[in-house]
Amino acid sequence: QAGTFEYPLSERKPEGFKDIDSANEKIMLQVDDVFRIIEMTLLLCVLMPLSIWWMQQYYHVGKHLHGFIAILYFIDIVRRHTHPHSWIFNTPFFVLWLLDVAVQSYFRYRRGPDLW
């Protein structure tokens, strides 16, 4: 059963919707739940092992894939209205990581190559 689509890119339960029906021994999934199952399976079971393998073979590519996985995982957790604690605890560290990447890039490209 589909719920309403709300900020931040998350689905809210319809009125009276229960995830668990213990009388009939059933679990109900919303569209967002199915999307997250597929997304996390792809991220953690397909792309993560690929990034680890690429880290050994092609470090530069593996590093970027690993960062891409981390960003998608962060976005998935933060967009959920059922995880407001992640907005408080995860977001500052993500912002610090972005700042660290920006500072590293600035100083790496600002400094000339080592000739001696």
pLDDT digits (tens, 9 = 90+) for 15-39: 777 777 778 888 877 777 888 899 9
Q: Is the pTM of this model over 0.75?
A: no
Q: By residue range, what is the domain housing residue 91? A: 4-110
Q: What is the DSSP string of 28-97?
A: ---HHHHHHHHHHHIIIIIIHHHHHHHHHH-HHHHHHHHHHHHHHHHHHHHH-TT-HHHHHHHHHHHHHH
Residue 81 counted as domain residue? yes
Contact (CB, 8 A) for 76 and 36: yes
Residue 116 counted as domain residue? no
Supply the pLDDT for residue 49. Answer: 95
User: Which of 101, 48, 98, 99 is closest to 73 using CA atoms?
Assistant: 48
Contact (CB, 8 A) for 48 and 69: yes
Reported confidence tier of residue 5, pLDDT bands at 50, 70, 90: low
Reported confidence tier of residue 9, pLDDT bands at 50, 70, 90: low
pLDDT digits (tens, 9 = 90+) for 40-98: 999 999 999 999 999 999 999 999 999 999 999 888 887 776 667 777 888 888 889 88
Residue 103 counted as domain residue? yes
Supply the pLDDT for residue 40. Answer: 92
Supply the pLDDT for residue 51. Answer: 94
Q: How many domains does the chain have?
A: 1
Residue 115 counted as domain residue? no
Supply the pLDDT for residue 43. Answer: 94
Task: Say whether pLDDT at 110 is over 80.
Answer: no
Residue 58 counted as domain residue? yes
